[in-house]
Amino acid sequence: MIVVVAFAFSVAAVTVVHAAKADPKAAPKTSTKPVAKPTTVAPHTVTVVDLQNLAFKVMGSDGKEAAYNFTALTEVIINGKSAKFDDLKKGMTAKVTVSDGNNASRIEAKGGMAPITPTPRKK
């Protein structure tokens, strides 16, 4: 029984010594999966806003249409202010940032309804 205990102790000691000799400056192992870089699409005109399916389409000046999805993580900025997806309207000009497939991570839109300015009364 003493031999078994001594053997177990010596194995543990060797393991501790081996761990102590490990290079402390060695970089930790990282994942080899490539991380998708966000891609921003040039400003396009919003052609469809589908609130039910949380999707929208934009058309570029070349006439090509692209479809994107809205997610819970999508940041919406309209006319420089934080907004909601349902504030996005057909006819707005939008820059879309995509980082995962067709899921928009950011929508920067401009335009919308023109502000109503009161007309002065004639006397």
Rounded Cα distance between 27 and 37, Å, is 23
Residue 121 falls inside a structural domain: no
Instruction: Answer yes or no: is 11 within a domain.
Output: no
Q: Is residue 79 part of a domain?
A: yes
Q: Which domain holds residue 47?
A: 39-110
Asked if residue 88 belongs to a domain, the reply is: yes
Please check whether residue 81 lies inside any domain of the structure: yes
Looking at per-residue pLDDT, the higher value among 41 and 5 belongs to 41
| pLDDT tens digit sequence for 58-113 | 999 899 999 999 999 999 999 999 999 999 999 999 999 998 889 999 999 999 75
Is residue 26 a part of any domain in this protein?
Answer: no
CATH number of the domain to which 90 belongs: 2.40.50.320
Whether pLDDT at 12 is above 70: no
pLDDT at 8 over 60: no
Query: Please, how many CA atoms are within 13 Å of residue 69, restricted to the half-sphere of its CB?
Result: 9
In a domain, 31, yes or no: no
Sort 33 into a burial class: Cβ within 10 Å, 0-12 / 13-18 / 19+.
exposed
Torsion of CA 22, 26, 27, 33, to 10 degrees: -70
Residue 114 has pLDDT above 70, yes or no: no
Query: Is residue 33, in this structure, part of any structural domain at all?
Result: no
- Our count of domains for the chain comes to 1
